[in-house]
Structure formats: C-alpha cells, structure tokens
Chain A
Amino acid sequence: MGQLSEPEDGDTSMTSGTAKREFESTQGMSDACREGLRNLLIACADTKLLLGYHYGEWTFGPPELEAAIACCSLSQSELGHVRLLHAVLRNQFGDETEALVEQRLGSAFANISYLDEEIADWAGFVAANYVVDLAVTRLLHAMRDSTFAPLRVNVEKMLDEERYHVHHGQGWFRMLCGKNDECRAAAQRSLHEALQAVAQWFGPAGDPHDEALVAAGVKAKPNPEIFEDLVGDVTETAASLGVALTVEPAAFDGWDPATRRSDASGPNEEILQHLRGSKNAIFKLN
C-alpha cells in the first residue's frame, strides 16, 4: 500500500499465547469488560455519526468536484457503519438508536472532540478525514480478530471501506503539503489540533476498562499503544513531506471513560439538531 502504512495482517493477531474464550454475546464477560465494550462501541458510533455529518456537509465546498463526490460517498459509508454499530449495541446491550442519537445531551456524546464544531476550511476537513477517521479505523482494526463475535463479523466490511477514506485523507494531506507554504502550514496546524483531540479520545494508560478488554481478547492492544502506532504513521508521512508534527501529552485529570473527555464538552447544539433532523420532527412517519 505504498506509504499508506496500514497495519500488516497479523499485526494485531491474538493467536499467540493461550487461546482466549470466544464470546457469542456479552454474557460471561466481566463487568469492566462489558462496560468498557459498550463505552467503546458508543464512542466509535458517535465519532462515525459526526464524521458522517461533516462529510455530508462538505459535499459542497471542496476545492475539486471529485473531492465533493468523494465526501458524499464517505458520508454514506460512515452512516452505514453507525447502523452496524448501533445494531450491535441494540442486540447486545439493549441500547435503542433513538435513545443514542435523539435523546442524549451533547455533553454525553463520546465522539472525538475535533468534530464538535463546524470545520472551518478544507485543511481542517483533511485533518478530520485523515487523522480522526483513521483513529477509529485503527481501533476497529485492533478488533478484527476479537473474541467478541458479534462485532468481529462486522469489522471486516468497515475496514474494507475505510481503506478509501485513508487514501482520500492522506492523499489530500500530501497535496496540501506540496502546494505552497500557506497550505502546508494550514495542514500542519489542523493535523496537530486533530491529533491532540485523538490523544484525549484514546484515553490514559492503565484505564481499567481498556485493560479488561485486552485481557479478554476483545481488543488486541491497549488504546495508548494504538494511538502511538497512529502517531508514528502520521508523523512519518508528514516528515516525508517536510512537515514536523509534535503531539503534546494529553491531560487526563477527570477523564470520563463514558465520554472519553476530561470536561463536559460535546458537539454543538446546532450540529446535533441538524443531524437529528430536529427541525423536521413533525414530519416523522412514526
């Protein structure tokens, strides 16, 4: 895949060591594992929901027609992934989509915070497409051999589609870095901001939920390790384009594993209303 730097097959293999117990449902999981899994699925679904919203919004406004069409397609696939993840949450945890999307406060959402506000410009969009999208993909990749079968059977389809999301985000990052100093600086600034938000989302080392998921084989690696791999890939690509990226250590004081944040922020109300169709609630069919 050239410089796409996708994890090699087997990179997250769980075949070494003793065989882990297979889970056909959440029955038999420890409380920490079960709670951690639900939090993680909601965090992935929330991020994909917001990505779907922003990709949809950027169907109009990109600098190239092909990119506009790509944004529309990326939006559709993200929203499709949300449906898959919500189905797992409904079947395994009894979480209804209505409750997850329509009835939660913004401060209860667990999306990567970079997506909380409208994205100001194309460089900002590229950072979301490249780094924020890739963060969730990396996490899902760490669950492709998961002992939790209901998720595992859906992961491969999502990863197949995500391949093209990375091509698009990384391809445009390269383009911007090669265009001129102004574009390179904007890309660098946005990517740095996105990486900081991603660092917060992955959470601190030693999170008990995260450790329980890895111990049960639901996930191959702890989140901080997945984040390090992601940073390694992105900084390498950036360095090859003459861009130095730095990531400051995230502050995890008061970090809440349910929202994956240290504060009570969330997507802004206008975005939530828009993606929920709140202004058109009276036209709902049921």
Chain B
Amino acid sequence: MARTEVYEVFARKAHDEELKHVGSVNATDDELAKAYAWTLYDEENWIEMCVVPRKAVIPITHQGRLPLWGN
C-alpha cells in the first residue's frame, strides 16, 4: 500500500510572473497529486501549475532556527 506524501503546489497566472507557492496536497503518488492540486486550487486561471514532493525540497535554513544573521 502506497503511503501518503505531502506535495507542495506552485502556480502562476502569467508568463511574466514567477511561480508562487499556493498550497499543498496529500497524495499517494504523482498522478493523484496532480489531480488534487488542479481540483483544489482551481480558483484562478493558472497558465502553469506544478507539484513537488516535499521530500524533494532541500532546506537551506535549519528548520526552526533563524540563520545566524537573523531575518
């Protein structure tokens, strides 16, 4: 049985806009993640939408810790 994973959802409305993080979905595979992202975040006319498994995101800052210089 496949395990549910978190996928981050990114989208943009125009070619000259950067991709923005619009939310996340829980899904067992990429195919369902695509369907869930499209059906959950369908309030805008996106020209591009993509999903990224959260586990594929490489953190730069340590979770829960501010970088040394603060921000």
Contacts and interface: CB of A to CB of B under 8 A. Distances in A.
Interface of A: 2, 4, 64-67, 69-70, 72-74, 164-165, 167-168, 170-172, 174-175, 178-180
Contacts of B31: 2, 4, 167, 170-171, 174
B39 A171 contact: no
28 contacts: A2-B31, A4-B31, A64-B4, A66-B25, A66-B27, A66-B36, A67-B36, A69-B36, A69-B40, A70-B35, A70-B36, A70-B39, A73-B38, A73-B42, A74-B39, A164-B34, A164-B38, A164-B39, A165-B35, A167-B31, A167-B34, A168-B36, A171-B27, A171-B28, A172-B32, A175-B2, A175-B29, A179-B1
Contacts of A170: 31
Contact of B39 (A2, A168, A174, A178): A168
Contact of A73 (B1, B25, B40): B40
Contacts of A72: 39
Secondary structure class of chain A's binding surface, majority of residues: helix
Given A179-B1, A180-B1, A66 B29 contact: no
Given A66-B40, A69-B40, A175 B28 contact: yes
Contacts of A66: 25-27, 32, 36, 40
A167 B28 contact: no
Interface of B: 1-2, 4, 25-29, 31-32, 34-36, 38-40, 42
- Nearest 4 interchain pairs by C-beta: A73-B39, A171-B32, A168-B35, A167-B35
B60 to A, nearest CB: 29
Contacts of A179: 1
A167 B37 CA distance: 11
A252 to B, nearest CB: 35
Contact of A171 (B4, B35, B40): B35
A172 B4 CA distance: 13
Interface centre among A2, A70, A180 (most CB of B within 10 A): A70
B1 A168 contact: no
B38 to A, nearest CB: 4
A32 to B, nearest CB: 39
Given A164-B34, A167-B31, A64 B26 contact: yes
Nearest to A170: B31
Contacts of B2: 175, 178
Interface centre among B26, B28, B31, B39 (most CB of A within 10 A): B39
A73 B27 CA distance: 17
A69 B32 contact: no
